[in-house]
Homo-oligomer: A and B are copies of this chain.
Amino acid sequence: MAERIVKVGLVGFGTVGTGVAKLIAENADSIAVRTGIRLKLACVVDIDMMSVRPVKLPDGILTDDLNRLLSDDTIQIGVETIGGTDMARNIQLKMLEAGKDVVTANKALLAEYGNELYRVAQKNGRCIAFEASCAGGIPVVSAIRTGLAANNITAMFGIVNGTCNYILSNMTSKNEDFCEALTQAQEKGYAEADPTLDISGGDSAHKLAILGSIAFGCEIALEDIYVEGIEGISISDIRYGTEMGYCLKLLAIGQKDEQNRISLRVHPSFIARDNALARVEGPFNAVSIFGSAVGQVTYYGRGAGMMPTASAIVADIIDVALGNSATTFRQLNLRPRSETAPFIEKIDNIVSRFYIRIMCKDRPGVIAQWSKVLADHQISISGAIQHEGKGPENTVPVVIATHPTMQKNITIALEDMEKLDVIGGKPVCIRIVDIPEDKD
């Protein structure tokens, strides 16, 4: 097969950018044999030209001048790996306007400005490829777009943030409290110095916006997604949940019902301990997708890191070079929100099961009181634990699991419970998510 040289420009020479440079350097030969495309890194742009990175670039291609990349018409593909939204948005716009296809892992940017960028790309006859933006090295974007194209996708459940999963895994298995586990994650390089975007659930929401828009075929705005992070999770709730047979994960959930109502949410979720997602540990990611024809399909792998992310970026570069990304990109539904009008279900109307922990005074009639509040709001109890307390002066934790009920019922019931003088403090409430299991 005759080789075709495809020149690539890279903006951002940090961890992921270094991985991309490394992978192209190491695998250009085998990629050429397999695909007929010889990738050539022609330009690397970064303001930091001094730091030593664990890859040797060809002489003279490192520059701090973006214009060198933009004005080089032999460069067909621009890869943006600087992250963040403002500067990255500008760079991507400039690359598209300079006639380059764009490859990126920048989920924050796509979740926020994706539709603007997609339209500019289409106007300029270019494409944007973003496999690396969701679940790192796992090819889940292409799986949804291509592999499951014949399906009506009804639900997806994802562990898409390795930082949170690492923290929750360590809280569960090593009995660390949230702060210890976060510090551990930072020391291991799995959490940023400022971990807010991860632990708040924001990063998972970015990925859900991207995956949801592909799976459900409509524009998803970040405001459509209900988000709760893991900052408030206490180790005692993880322990009580374990006692009840659950494992705590931060899930990104997208569902579409028969009336095409879409619900999108990111929150801590107790899932059955024997569900496959419960076994996803540390910095790993997994996504379970339910299709009308295929049933359940689950993908598992590394959700972040230098080489896994580079693996997805270089796969996208190849796909762009082969011309397949352009075809797939044309399928993106870019009709404005006002035309497609997805019906996004409000969190209040979502039906879930709930884990509730209340601190009760240890005296007669307490159960009668809190159970009456739940009964008043038609909330049925599926399980409860009250370990023996130490006497009337102490409060004892009571842990309750409910049958499915609407969020708004729980919200009012918790407010009413908080008013009971036999209950100390604010009840803790964590959703229990029954991930359907496709069994024979």
User: Interface residues, chain A, CB within 8 Å of chain B?
Assistant: 1, 19, 23, 26-27, 30-31, 33-36, 131, 137-139, 142-143, 146-152, 166, 188, 190, 217, 276, 279, 282-284, 291-302, 307-308, 310-315, 317-319, 322-324, 327-328, 330-331, 333, 438-440
Contact = CB atoms under 8 A, between A and B. Distances in A.
Given A31-B149, A142-B146, A295-B137, A282 B440 contact: yes
Contact of A440 (B27, B151, B188): B188
Nearest to A33: B217
Contacts of A292: 26-27
A327 B324 CA distance: 7
Given A27-B150, A137-B297, A322-B331, 10 more contacts: A139-B143, A146-B319, A166-B440, A276-B276, A284-B440, A293-B310, A296-B300, A297-B300, A298-B300, A299-B300
Nearest to A307: B293
A307 B331 contact: no
A298 B295 contact: no
6 smallest beta-carbon distances between A and B, as pairs = A139-B147, A150-B314, A137-B294, A293-B311, A297-B301, A294-B311
A147 B152 contact: no
A307 to B, nearest CB: 4
Contact of A302 (B35, B138, B294): B294
A135 to B, nearest CB: 10
Contacts of A439: 282
A116 B313 CA distance: 34
